[in-house]
Amino acid sequence: MRQTQAKRIVLGLTGGIAAYKAAELARLLLKQGVEVQVAMTEAACHFITPATMQALTGRPVLVNQWDAITNGMAHIDTSRAADAIVVAPATADFISKLAHGLADDLLSTLCLARVCPLLVAPAMNKQMWAHAATQRNVVQLERDGVTILGPCSGVQACGEEGMGRMLEAEELALDIVAFLQGSKSLNGGSPTLTLPQGERGSIHKMDGVRILITAGPTYEAIDAVRGITNRSSGKMGYAVARAALELGAQVTLVSGPTALPKPQGAQVVDVTSAAEMFEAVKQHVAGAGIFIGVAAVADYRIAQPSTQKIKKSADKLTLELLPNPDILAYVANLPKPPFCVGFAAESENLHGHAKTKRKAKNIPLLVANLAQQAIGSDENELILFDDTGEHVLPRADKLTLARQLMQHIVMLRTNIKT
Ligand code: PMT
């Protein structure tokens, strides 16, 4: 087993137009300290040249099965040295090969001979993605322990719009780094998953479900240049949006000011203040099956914000604050409310405050986290409070937790319906 701290992946490219995104993906991974060895199929070389990938990674690109590395066993050697193989883009054809255990070129042979986890980022036309054969193959891969990243919905190279578009490089890099951090037995034994095997076989569990999510902080203006806000980064809410998209949901994300890339496939409504967030939620809540309030909404706003910069003086300055509307309580008390999920960040007495909040807000599920651990960080630890009691989601990266939370929501909604 390799002893170095740095993670190493094999980045496999197959022949799709999304191959151009692999160049940026390689760059982002390298920037985060991940060593990248590129392997390309012959078809991939028609979309992006090995020279580009070699120049970016500083390593010769593997294309030909018959090129010797050390002992002519490139398919064995390369996968042994890797913490994971990531195929991005993965065409319908390549996914089919993987599902059937075919090994007729270097990349497919590498995948079959691997002892490390395999992650696959599908990229194809929407009809190819929706085809029963592709869906069967994807489910088979998940049963085999392969992690599927995406795809998402959007405008495709063919001009059509729909599901099948490869995730953006930024999103894939986030996923891959999170996966590498979360994997416990990297580079050894059977593939390690961030989710229990089969859980993501439910890619259609939320097909057609509209989910409205709030995320990030709000900013309440004091004057033209100053305001009251908090340290929420939006990472938890954006991860929840990603996890919901992965399950096929139609996601509207009402986001306070953050520095995060927008989740591909979500309708993002940017807002600044709590009042704007409230208006956006009111506007988009009709037809939503689920509402998840992850945002750290300011409880108060300035009664009379100044349109000009307030000038410094020797006098005492008193700001009058007015309470903001409670967005979650509004949604939960609609005549036909969606399934409502609230979050609570507490600095002490997490259990006590969370239980009180769930009752006060009249919601089926409340997600509690410790403010000092949760705000701004990449990792978190959650306790879910529902009618059956509490469920701890141990410390992990936020996307992993968001996926587990979405599975819990799926389960609760199924129980309500049956
Ligand atoms: O963004 P990150 O850096 O990733 O951090 C994530 C987080 C810590 C912000 C997130 O996990 C979290 O806990 N969010 C809720 C923060 C909070 O404590 O909210 P609250 O206790 O003020 O409100 C409880 C619930 O009511 C929340 O779902 C909130 O969105 C909602 N609320 C609150 C006030 C208000 N006026 N309107 C609301 O909808």
* CA-closest residue to ligand 1 atom 27: 343
Tokens found for residue 402? 């968001």
> Furthest-apart CA pair in the chain: how many Å?
81
CA 310 to chain centre: 41
The 10s digit of each residue's pLDDT in 233-276 is 999 999 999 889 878 899 999 999 999 988 877 999 999 999 99
Mutate to test the pocket of ligand 1, among 328, 348, 382, 401 (most ligand atoms within 8 A of CB): 328
Tell me how far CA of residue 76 lies from CA of 36, 151, 374, in angstroms.
17, 29, 41
Quick check: 125 and 90 in contact, CB under 8 A? no
Lowest-pLDDT choice from 56-60, 193-197, 369-373: 193-197
Establish whether residue 293 lines the binding site of ligand 1, counting it when its CB lies within 6 angstroms of any ligand atom. yes
| Ligand 1 center from residue 297 Cα (angstroms) | 6
Q: Is 381 in the pocket of ligand 1 (CB under 6 A)?
A: no
What is residue 74's predicted lDDT score, i.e. its pLDDT? 63
Closest CA to 213 of 276, 327, 292: 292
265 lines ligand 1 (CB under 6 A): no
Q: Decide if pLDDT at 204 tops 90.
A: no
Q: How far is the CA of 295 from the centre of ligand 1 (A)?
A: 4
Q: Which of 16-30, 144-158, 395-409 has the highest mean pLDDT?
A: 16-30
- Cβ atoms of residues 354 and 344 within 8 Å: yes
Run of H or E including 321: strand 321-323
Same fold, 8-182 and 210-303+318-417: yes
Question: Of 3.40.50.1950, 3.40.50.2000, 3.40.50.720, 3.40.630.30, which CATH number belongs to 8-182?
Answer: 3.40.50.1950
Indicate whether residue 233 lines ligand 1 (CB < 6 A): yes
Number of C-alpha atoms within 13 angstroms, CB side, residue 342?
A: 26
Average pLDDT, the chain: 89
Q: Please give the model's pTM, rounded to 2 decimal places.
A: 0.68
DSSP string over 359-372: HHHT-SEEEEEEHH
Of 159 and 253, the structure prediction assigns the larger pLDDT to: 253
Answer CATH for 210-303+318-417 from 3.40.50.10300, 3.60.15.10, 3.40.50.2300, 3.60.10.10 = 3.40.50.10300
**What percent of the chain clears pLDDT 70, i.e. is strictly above it?**
90
Q: Is the pLDDT of residue 200 over 50?
A: no
Ramachandran sector of residue 4 (left: φ over 0; alpha: ψ -120 to 50; beta: rest): beta
Confidence of residue 137 (pLDDT cuts 50, 70, 90): very high
- Regarding the beta carbon of 324 and ligand 1, being less than 6 Å apart is answered yes
Specify the pLDDT at position 418. Answer: 63
The alpha carbon of 157 and the centre of ligand 1 are apart by a number of angstroms equal to 39
Summarize pLDDT for 278-304 with one digit per residue, the tens: 999 999 999 999 999 999 999 999 999
Strand-pair category, 365-370 with 379-386 = antiparallel
Q: Residue 232: which pLDDT band, with cuts at 50, 70 and 90?
A: very high
Active site residues: 158
Kindly give the number of the ligand 1 atom that is closest to the alpha carbon of 214.
Answer: 30
Nearest ligand 1 atom to the CA of 328 is 39
Interatomic CA distance for residues 141 and 150, integer angstroms: 14
Helix (H, G, I), strand (E, B) or coil at 184: coil
- The first and second tokens of residue 120, run together, are 């696959």
What is the reported pLDDT for 194?
A: 34
Q: Where are the domains of the chain?
A: 8-182, 210-303+318-417
Give me the pLDDT at residue 414, please.
Answer: 82
CB atoms within 10 A of CB 350: 16
173-191 confidence digits (pLDDT tens): 988 887 886 543 222 222 2
